[in-house]
Chain A
Amino acid sequence: MNRAAHIQFPTAEVPDGAWAARFSTSCPRFGRMDGLSRLALMAVESLGVEFENRDEVGVCLETRYGSLGADRQFLRTLSPSVFSYTLPSTAVGEICIRHKLRGPVLCLLTESGDGRQALEHGQAWLMSGEATSCLCLCADASGDHPAEAAALYLRESVKVIGSLRELCITLARPV
Chain B
Amino acid sequence: MTTPADKPVAITGCAAITACGDGLAPLERALADNASALRPCARFTGSPYQTNVVGAVPDEAWATLREGDPGHAGAPAFLLANHVIRRLRPRATGRVGLVLSTTKADIVALERGDTGNRHILPGQLAADLAAANDITGPVRCVSVACVSGLLAIQTGAELIRRGEADSVIVAGVDLLSHFVVAGFSALKSLDPEGCRPFDKDRIGLSVGEGAGAILLARGAGMTVAGWGSSNDANHLTGPSRDGSGLALAMQRALRRAGVAPGDVDYVHAHGTGTLYNDSMEALALRWVFGDRVPAFSSSKGLFGHTLGAAGVLETVLCVIAANDGLVPGTPRLRVPADDMPATLQIESRHGAKLRTIMKINAGFGGTNAALALRI
**Complex: chain A residue closest to B161, CB-CB:** A128
CB distance from B174 to the nearest CB of A (A): 12
Query: Which of B143, B237, B252 lies in contact with A109, CB distance below 8 A?
Result: B143
Q: Say yes or no: is B336 at the interface (Cβ < 8 Å to chain A).
A: no
* B13 within 8 A of partner (CB): no
Contacts A89-B365, A96-B233, A111-B123; A106 near B110 (Cβ below 8 A)? no
Contact of A66 among B143, B158, B232 (CB under 8 A): B143
The contact of B186 among A79, A87, A88, A90, by CB within 8 Å, is A79
Q: Does B233 contact A74, Cβ atoms closer than 8 Å?
A: no
Contact with A along B287-304 (1 / 0, CB 8 A): 000000000000000000
CB proximity to A under 8 Å, residues B134-148: 140-145
**Docked pose: A113 CA to B245 CA in angstroms:** 29
- CB <8 Å contact, A66 and B121: yes
Stretch at the interface among B193-201, B211-219, B223-231: B223-231
A54 to chain B, nearest CB (A): 8
Q: Is the CB of B232 within 8 A of A102?
A: yes
CB atoms of A105 and B186 under 8 A apart: no
B188: chain A residues at CB < 8 Å are: 80
* Size bin of chain B's contact surface: 35 or more
Say yes or no: A75 contacts B179, CB within 8 Å: yes
Q: A93 and B143 in contact (CB under 8 A), knowing A79-B186, A111-B124? A: no
- In the complex, which of the residues B110, B121, B162 contacts A124, with contact meaning CB atoms closer than 8 Å? B162
| Chain A, Cβ-Cβ closest to B159 | A124
Count chain A residues whose beta carbon lies closer than 8 angstroms to a beta carbon of B: 45
A39 at interface by CB-CB < 8 Å: no
Inter-chain contact A93/B182, CB cutoff 8 Å: no
Q: How far is the CB of B246 from chain A (nearest CB, A)?
A: 11
Q: Which residues of A contact B229 (CB under 8 A)?
A: 104-106
Decide if A108 is an interface residue (CB 8 Å cutoff). Answer: yes
Known: A75-B110, A83-B186. A65 touches B121 (CB 8 A): yes
Bound CA span A117–B48, Å: 39
Q: Does B187 interact with chain A (Cβ within 8 Å)? A: yes
Q: Indicate whether A97 sits within 8 Å of B143 (C-beta atoms), given known contacts A66-B121, A92-B231, A106-B151.
A: no
User: Could you say which of B48, B110, B142, B158 contacts A71, with CB atoms under 8 Å apart?
Assistant: B110
Q: Tell whether B126 is near chain A: CB-to-CB under 8 Å.
A: yes
A90 — nearest CB in chain B belongs to which residue?
A: B365
Taking the nearest CB of chain A, how far is it from the CB of B6, in angstroms?
17
- Highest count of chain B CB atoms <10 Å: which of A79, A99, A108: A108
Q: Interface on B for A, CB 8 Å cutoff?
A: 48, 103-104, 107, 110-111, 120-124, 126-127, 140-145, 151, 155, 158, 162, 179, 182-184, 186-188, 228-237, 245, 248, 252, 363-367
Neighbouring B residues of A88 by C-beta, 8 Å: 143
Complex: how many Å from CA A75 to CA B120? 14
- Find B140's partner among A66, A117, A130 (CB 8 Å cutoff): A117
Are B366 and A93 closer than 8 Å at their CB atoms?
yes
Known: A72-B110, A90-B236, A93-B236. A107 touches B143 (CB 8 A): yes
Q: Is the CB of A83 within 8 A of B187?
A: yes
> Is the C-beta of A59 less than 8 angstroms from some C-beta in chain B?
yes
Minimum C-beta distance from A135 to chain B (A): 12
Tell me whether B123 and A110 are in contact (CB under 8 A): yes
B349 to A: closest C-beta gap in Å? 34
Across the interface, do A87 and B143 meet the contact criterion of CB distance under 8 Å?
Answer: yes
Nearest B residue (CB) for A62: B123
B236, A68: Cβ atoms closer than 8 Å: no
B364 and A87 contact, CB distance less than 8 A: yes
- Which residues of A have CB within 8 Å of B162? 124
Determine if B245 and A102 form an interchain contact, defined as CB atoms under 8 angstroms apart.
yes
Q: What are 9 pairs between A and B in contact, CB < 8 Å?
A: A66-B121, A66-B143, A71-B107, A80-B188, A93-B366, A96-B365, A97-B235, A105-B230, A107-B142
Q: 12 more A-B contacts (CB under 8 A) besides A71-B107, A80-B183, A96-B366?
A: A83-B187, A87-B143, A92-B365, A93-B364, A97-B366, A99-B233, A104-B230, A108-B123, A108-B142, A109-B142, A110-B123, A111-B124
A145 at the interface (CB under 8 A from B): no
A130 to B183, CA, bound (A): 34
Residue from A75, A90, A117, A128 within 8 A of B111 (CB atoms): A75
